Chain A
């Protein structure tokens, strides 16, 4: 019997320690960024201006599409080599009229492709446009973008220069959150994009494999788009990731160009974020299943099967599982052997401190302009209580002293019961923070929601909120829930900083 208890104890400790793996993998990913300068593709670049078809799927985009077309016509790209095809997915607002006015303003450069029967999602809309564009041989490269994104004038040519290398099939850009003036949610996303785009895609570049072309900035050579079947996937919610994988399994390279900037309007509310990210997270679960033959297996043409890439992919996908398992294990361990639980927790949180300090400081330095706007959200990314726990892991004595003083001032005496209660709370919080962040979504549409929902996110954490969304995606996918394309609402509040 004692052997069984001992085995259970060590199993629980192992489950806690395993939760440090995604943290270490995140550190590894950011360390790779430092080596990006050694793997740059610029030696194979040159000024290159293929005949470019810009494909824009549009459904009720009248607020943004006109200005988008105007900006595209001002790109630093030869006008005669640029055509804009707007696929109007049976819009019910003034979108067709706006596009037709722009087609008249820019004859031979802007084309209105109308779908009379819409509502089949972005992938079906893109396929309608791709079929027409591929129907003649004018197009040499196609840029797939969203209706609202803002391409900085030099961005497209900075992307297209990589296509001078025939081995390159696709190029993506650095998408930045550009809502003006923007709220707390936009700033969280702004910081998140430094980590998820500027850093993660650089590290993937170093590994020689890209997980996903940004949906709003996918540049493909004609050869590539034809090689992947001339259409994008309609069976999943992550058509951009599927295209990225297929490009690489076919032996073509995907390049991230960090100096091509594209500004995008991202959700300004938890409900909007939830809809968008649930789609992305479900899409990732579907891609994981679709490419099950690829993971951790040597691939002749690509590095998609490499151990490093698999580790990055699955650590992100399974992060909520790691958090829930570690929390549950710590709670059980607390009742079996509380001192062992404390030791395991301490080891996990010291790893957490290292990761938090390294990633936060490095991310803010990677893009200092965005960093200046989002540093508060960067610091509070894991949530205020988690930041307090991190502080307690680094400077325990002053914080214990402070908590004593606060308790005494409030008229409480610090007893061992209180200490054990706080200890147990911190173990539970590891998972409960996701629930608290989720409460922000529940509160948002209700009374006082405007005040309460940011509070829940700041306390629970934006990172835990994303984990909660991923958990919801598992559940939806497991239940086989309907796949609906919940379009992110755009209002045209995005602007490129001057």
Chain B
């Protein structure tokens, strides 16, 4: 059961997904972000090291995912820029050369 109260579905990087082959050295992501049953305020999500032995200065797993998502969002903007260039070329073609 994951932090989103669903088994292996939805929810973001903190969803607890059971490790394949019930491997003890692949612990689930640390808890955080879900609403506790005793009504306590949810704790802010704990940062998960991206890999065992990562130096404290290294980006956390959540930071890496966030960076990747932002990069992918940026591609939509870049696609728009490229489309604007196409539009400019077409405008030049139509406006100046009939």
B residues 24-79 near A (Cβ < 8 Å) are 25-26, 28-29, 48-54, 61, 64-65, 67-69, 71-73, 75-76, 78-79
Which residues of the other chain, A, contact B92 by a CB distance below 8 angstroms? 394-395
Other-chain residue from A46, A81, A361 in contact with B61 (beta carbon distance below 8 A):
A46
**A37 on the interface (CB 8 Å rule)?**
yes
Query: Given A46-B29, A221-B20: A362 and B78 within 8 A (CB)?
Result: yes
Query: Given A42-B69, A78-B52, A140-B23: A357 and B89 within 8 A (CB)?
Result: yes
B residues 79-98 near A (Cβ < 8 Å) are 79-83, 85-86, 89-90, 92-93, 96-97
Please, which residue of chain B has its CB at the minimum distance from the CB of A156?
Answer: B51
- Count class of interface residues, chain A: 35 or more
**B1 on the interface (CB 8 Å rule)?**
no
CB pair B72 A40 closer than 8 Å? yes
CB pair B75 A42 closer than 8 Å? no
CB pair B51 A77 closer than 8 Å? yes
CB pair B86 A357 closer than 8 Å? yes
Which residues of the other chain, A, contact B23 by a CB distance below 8 angstroms? 50-51, 140
Q: In the docked arrangement, what's the CA distance between A354 and B21, Å?
A: 51
Stretch at the interface among A158-166, A456-464, A470-478: A158-166
Q: In the docked arrangement, what's the CA distance between A429 and B15, Å?
A: 57
Q: In the docked arrangement, what's the CA distance between A47 and B82, Å?
A: 35
CB pair B28 A46 closer than 8 Å? yes
Which residues of the other chain, B, contact A31 by a CB distance below 8 angstroms? 79
Q: In the docked arrangement, what's the CA distance between A386 and B86, Å?
A: 18
With both chains docked as a complex, state the minimum distance between the C-beta of B5 and any C-beta of chain A, in angstroms: 15
CB pair A165 B8 closer than 8 Å? yes
Other-chain residue from A163, A202, A365 in contact with B82 (beta carbon distance below 8 A):
A365
CB pair A396 B20 closer than 8 Å? no
Other-chain residue from A42, A51, A77 in contact with B68 (beta carbon distance below 8 A):
A42
CB pair B79 A397 closer than 8 Å? no
Q: In the docked arrangement, what's the CA distance between A221 and B20, Å?
A: 9
Please, which residue of chain A has its CB at the minimum distance from the CB of B89?
Answer: A357
Q: In the docked arrangement, what's the CA distance between A37 and B73, Å?
A: 5
Please, which residue of chain B has its CB at the minimum distance from the CB of A257?
Answer: B68
CB pair A365 B81 closer than 8 Å? yes
With both chains docked as a complex, state the minimum distance between the C-beta of B66 and any C-beta of chain A, in angstroms: 9
Q: In the docked arrangement, what's the CA distance between A421 and B53, Å?
A: 70
With both chains docked as a complex, state the minimum distance between the C-beta of A423 and any C-beta of chain B, in angstroms: 18
With both chains docked as a complex, state the minimum distance between the C-beta of B22 and any C-beta of chain A, in angstroms: 11
With both chains docked as a complex, state the minimum distance between the C-beta of A184 and any C-beta of chain B, in angstroms: 25
Q: In the docked arrangement, what's the CA distance between A354 and B90, Å?
A: 8
Which residues of the other chain, A, contact B12 by a CB distance below 8 angstroms? 43
Q: In the docked arrangement, what's the CA distance between A88 and B91, Å?
A: 59
**A307 on the interface (CB 8 Å rule)?**
no
CB pair A157 B28 closer than 8 Å? no
CB pair A49 B13 closer than 8 Å? no
Which residues of the other chain, A, contact B83 by a CB distance below 8 angstroms? 358
Which residues of the other chain, A, contact B65 by a CB distance below 8 angstroms? 42, 45
**A314 on the interface (CB 8 Å rule)?**
no
Interface residues, chain A, CB within 8 Å of chain B? 30-31, 33-37, 40, 42-51, 76-78, 81, 140, 154, 157-158, 161, 163-166, 202, 221, 223, 258-259, 350, 353-354, 357-358, 361-362, 365-366, 393-397
Interface residues, chain B, CB within 8 Å of chain A? 8, 10-13, 15, 17, 19-21, 23, 25-26, 28-29, 48-54, 61, 64-65, 67-69, 71-73, 75-76, 78-83, 85-86, 89-90, 92-93, 96-97
Can you list 10 residue pairs at the A/B interface with Cβ under 8 Å? Answer: A42-B68, A43-B11, A43-B15, A48-B19, A48-B26, A78-B25, A140-B23, A361-B82, A365-B75, A365-B82
